[in-house]
C-alpha cells in the first residue's frame, strides 16, 4: 500500500499526516514550531519529531512522496537547512522524494481542490496569496508587524494598546490592563515599548470578545481590521475560489464574520481552510483526485 506524508510547519506547531492514496489518514503527529525563520535551529528537529510520531506503526518504506508546507520558505535558500531536512527525512526511514511548498499553498489546498485561486490568511500575521497550479505566484502584505500584517492578530493587539492608552478611563482600557497585568497607563506604555510580540498578539481574543459585546473601541478596531484584510485580498484581484485561513478567519470571530460579509457584498463566496497538513499529503500525491481530497479534508461547503 503506497502512502504519502504531508507536513504543516508553522510558527506555533509542526503537524504531520500519513495517508493512503485514497485519502485515508493512518497517522498523525505534532511537535514544536517548525518555521525556520522564527524557530531557527529548532525547526528541523520539530518537523522530524512530528513526522516520526505520524509514522508510528507505519512502514516508512511504503511512503512514496512527501510535501512540507513551510512558513518561512526563504530558509530553503540555505543549503544547510535543506541538507538538515534531507537527513531528518532519511533518519525517519523515508526514501521517497520530498519537496517544500509555502504555507499559503497548503492553506489554499486545505480549502479547495481547485488548482488556482486566492487565499487570505490572518493569524498572528496577515497575507493574501494568488495561487496558480498549486504554486504561489503573487502575494500582498505579509510584510511583518512593523511594515504591514494589517488586520492580523498582532495588529489587533497593537490597536488595543493604542486605544487603551488614549482612553484610559474606558472599560476597554481596564480590560487591556488586566490582560497585560500592567496597572497604570505609563507602565503600559513602557511595557509595549519592550515589544513582547506574543503577548501583544495574545490580546486579539480580548478585542474579539469585546467587539461581540459591542464595545465601541473594540468594534472600531475589528471594523478597521476587516477593511484592511479585504483590501489586501482585493489588491490581488482574485479569480477562482477564495479560501480563508489563519485563526482569525477559520474560527468564529467577528473578524471572520466581517470579512465574510464584505466578500458576500462583492459577490465573492469564500471557503474555509481546514487541515493544511492533510492538504500537504494530498499535494504529495501524483494523481490529486477530488475524491482523495474530500476524504482527507471533508466535503467543502461555502463558508
CA dihedral of residues 174, 180, 186, 187 (deg, nearest 10): 140
Distance between CA atoms of 80 and 123, rounded to whole angstroms? 29
Cell of 13: 506547531
Say if residue 112's pLDDT is above 50: yes
CB 18 within 8 A of CB 58: yes
pLDDT value at position 303? 44
Q: How far apart are CA 204 and CA 143, in angstroms?
A: 19
Class of domain 3-111+274-297: alpha beta
pTM for this entry: 0.91
Q: What is the pLDDT of residue 10?
A: 84
Cα dihedral 96, 99, 105, 106, rounded to 10, equals: 40
In CATH terms, the fold of domain 140-272 is Nucleotidyltransferase; domain 5 (3.30.420)
Mean pLDDT of the chain: 94
Compute the distance between CA of residue 98 and CA of residue 102 in angstroms, rounded to an integer.
14
- Domain ranges within the chain, ordered by starting residue: 3-111+274-297, 140-272
Mean pLDDT computed over 275-287: 96
Could you tell me if 50 and 86 are in contact, meaning their C-beta atoms sit under 8 angstroms apart? no
Percent of the chain with pLDDT over 90: 83
Predicted pLDDT at 299: 60
Handedness of CA 179, 181, 187, 191 (dihedral sign): negative
Average pLDDT rounded to a whole number, residues 205-211:
99
Closest by Cα among 136, 134, 117 to 243: 117
Per-residue pLDDT band for 42 (boundaries 50, 70, 90) equals confident
Domains 3-111+274-297 and 140-272 share a fold: yes
221-232 confidence digits (pLDDT tens): 999 999 999 999
Residue range 286-303: average pLDDT?
80
Does 267 score more than 60 pLDDT?
yes
User: How much is the pLDDT for 73?
Assistant: 76
Please tell me the distance from the alpha carbon of residue 246 to that of residue 43, in angstroms, as a whole number. 20
Amino acid at each position: 500500500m503506497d502512502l504519502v506524508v504531508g507536513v504543516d510547519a508553522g510558527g506555533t506547531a509542526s503537524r504531520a499526516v500519513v495517508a493512503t492514496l485514497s485519502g485515508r489518514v493512518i497517522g498523525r503527529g505534532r511537535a514544536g514550531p517548525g518555521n525556520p525563520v522564527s524557530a531557527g535551529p529548532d525547526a528541523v528537529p520539530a518537523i522530524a519529531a512530528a513526522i516520526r510520531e505520524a509514522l508510528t506503526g507505519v512502514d516508512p518504506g511504503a511512503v512514496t512522496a512527501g510535501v512540507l508546507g513551510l512558513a518561512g520558505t526563504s530558509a530553503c535558500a540555505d543549503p544547510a537547512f535543506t541538507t538538515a531536512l534531507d537527513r531528518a527525512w532519511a533518519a525517519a526511514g523515508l526514501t521517497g522524494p520530498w519537496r517544500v511548498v509555502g504555507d499559503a499553498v497548503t492553506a489554499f489546498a486545505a480549502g479547495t481542490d481547485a488548482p488556482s485561486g486566492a487565499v487570505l490568511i490572518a493569524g498572528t500575521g496577515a497575507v493574501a496569496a494568488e495561487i496558480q497550479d498549486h504554486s504561489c505566484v503573487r502575494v500582498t502584505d505579509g510584510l511583518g508587524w512593523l511594515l504591514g500584517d494589517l488586520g492580523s492578530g498582532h495588529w489587533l493587539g497593537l490597536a488595543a494598546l493604542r486605544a487603551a492608552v488614549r482612553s484610559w478611563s474606558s472599560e476597554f482600557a481596564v480590560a487591556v490592563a488586566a490582560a497585560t497585568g500592567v496597572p497604570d497607563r505609563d507602565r503600559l506604555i513602557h511595557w509595549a515599548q519592550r515589544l513582547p510580540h506574543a503577548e501583544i498578539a495574545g490580546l486579539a481574543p480580548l478585542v474579539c470578545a469585546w467587539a461581540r459585546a459591542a464595545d465601541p473601541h473594540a468594534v472600531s478596531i475589528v471594523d478597521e481590521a476587516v477593511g484592511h484584510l479585504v483590501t489586501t485580498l482585493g489588491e490581488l484581484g482574485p479569480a477562482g475560489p477564495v479560501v480563508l485561513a489563519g485563526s482569525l478567519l477559520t474560527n468564529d470571530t467577528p473578524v471572520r464574520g466581517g470579512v465574510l460579509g464584505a466578500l458576500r457584498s462583492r459577490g465573492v463566496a469564500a471557503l474555509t481552510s481546514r487541515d493544511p497538513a492533510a492538504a500537504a499529503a494530498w499535494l504529495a500525491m501524483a494523481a490529486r483526485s477530488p475524491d482523495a481530497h474530500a476524504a482527507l479534508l471533508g466535503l467543502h461547503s461555502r463558508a
